[in-house]
Amino acid sequence: MSEAEQAPASVPEVLDALNATDSNGTEVLNATAKFVATPEGTALAYGSLVFMALVPIFFGALRSVTCSKSKNAADMPETITSRDAARFPIIASCTLFGLYLFFKVFSQEYINLLLSVYFFVLGVLALSHTMSPLMSRVFPASFPNKQYQLLFTQGTGESKEEIVNYEFDTKNLVCLLISSVVGVWYLLKKHWIANNLFGLAFALNGVELLHLNNVSTGCILLGGLFVYDVFWVFGTNVMVTVAKSFEAPIKLVFPQDLLEKGLEASNFAMLGLGDIVIPGIFIALLLRFDVSLKKNSRTYFYSSFLAYIFGLGLTIFVMHTFKHAQPALLYLVPACVGFPVIVALFKGELTEMFRYEETSPEEAETKEDSSEKKDQ
């Protein structure tokens, strides 16, 4: 988090971007000499950021349960394996350092222009996907909803292979149109509300569509990024340099001078999307574990959710107490992993929690087909 408006670090790939910004809300703490936030403004800004962080985690976790059972190609999750988790901090570090060198050599203006266009496209698609379930409830039953299919194939006859097969309807097109308006608003004005709409969409989609296959993989990912976060924030100035140079809607911001200047406020506190998505996908995994227990209880989900609130609050407290940049995962990782483990130990379900294994929809379908053949 920051008391001055700074653009957080990121990378040009969505998953890397989300991860590479896991401390961006906390690594810049240079308050401007021209503005000193009032206690009310500071409380409003950080309270709003915490609330905005909780929304995509809560609803993204709920949607991940439905997503894990979906057979629609557009809604199928991307499963993160233990190998992916182990390599991810290394890839993110290389990408972050590459961006650092890039900004040192090339013009910051042109790089940010290219990245703005790139994230405009991604943001429109993410916001459209986020709005679709809501729009389905808003539209009346009499709305003429036509079905469409976008199909690209390669080859002919028996060698024909599907490259793209995407099904959508009129409601999806309306969502895409609304999202495009928000995207144009962001490109032209870089307004903080437009930025937050895209940021919330990225975060919710990340929590919904990025699935850890088991708790051990989650621990590997969070542990690796814990070290990554601490090193790049405390050990070097790379992340701070990139943060000052990078402009993209991969953070949530809220003005500390909103009470004085209204919607035209310009002194922001911010939170990087990685601080939301990385713990969020672990919390979503625990919700799916709760569902698998079939006990009509959400003990592990709520314990990890409360742990996230505690960890984020502790980050803010330490940052303001010591007036120094703080890597958020330094506090979020122990909290989000430790609380559920303690609960599992208390309930005698620790072994069961670590044995829980998820399969992708394709693997589940293959297993079903195999079992059906055996029965026959």
User: How confident is the model over 308-359, as pLDDT tens digits?
Assistant: 999 999 998 988 788 776 788 999 999 999 999 999 999 999 999 999 998 6
| Residues 77 and 68: beta-carbon distance below 8 Å | yes
pLDDT digits (tens, 9 = 90+) for 159-176: 788 777 777 788 888 899
* Tokens matching residue 200: 């919330």
* Tokens matching residue 271: 């939170």
SS3 297: coil
pLDDT, residue 107, reads 77
Q: Is 229 a catalytic residue?
A: yes
* Tokens matching residue 162: 């599907």
SS3 2: coil
pLDDT, residue 48, reads 94
pLDDT, residue 71, reads 58
Pairing label, strands 268-272, 251-255: antiparallel
Query: Rounded to the nearest 5 degrees, what angle is found at the Cα of 30, between the Cα atoms of 232 and 185?
Result: 90
Residues 229, 290, 369, 375: which is the catalytic one? 229
Whether the full predicted model's pTM is greater than 0.85, yes or no, is no
Read out DSSP for 323-368?
TS---THHHHHHHHHHHHHHHHHHHT-HHHHHH-B---HHHHHHHH
pLDDT, residue 1, reads 52
Question: Which CA distances in Å does 5 have to 28, 250, 270, 341, 355?
Answer: 9, 14, 8, 37, 44
| Residues 301 and 283: beta-carbon distance below 8 Å | yes
Residues 16, 22, 257, 275: which is the catalytic one? 275
* Tokens matching residue 246: 């990078």
Q: What is the DSSP letter of 29?
A: -
| Interatomic CA distance for residues 296 and 276, integer angstroms | 26
| Residues 364 and 222: beta-carbon distance below 8 Å | no
Element (H, E) at 95: helix 82-105
Q: How would you class 255 by CB atoms within 10 Å of its CB: exposed for 0-12, middle for 13-18, buried for 19 or more?
A: buried
Rg (CA), the chain: 21
Sequence-ordered list of residues with C-beta below 8 angstroms from that of 181, at least 6 positions apart, any chain: none
Sequence-ordered list of residues with C-beta below 8 angstroms from that of 190, at least 6 positions apart, any chain: 247
Residues in the chain predicted with pLDDT less than 70, given as ranges, are 1-35, 70-75, 325, 359-376
Tokens 């149109």 -> residue? 177
Q: Is 75 a catalytic residue?
A: no
Q: What is the DSSP letter of 12?
A: S
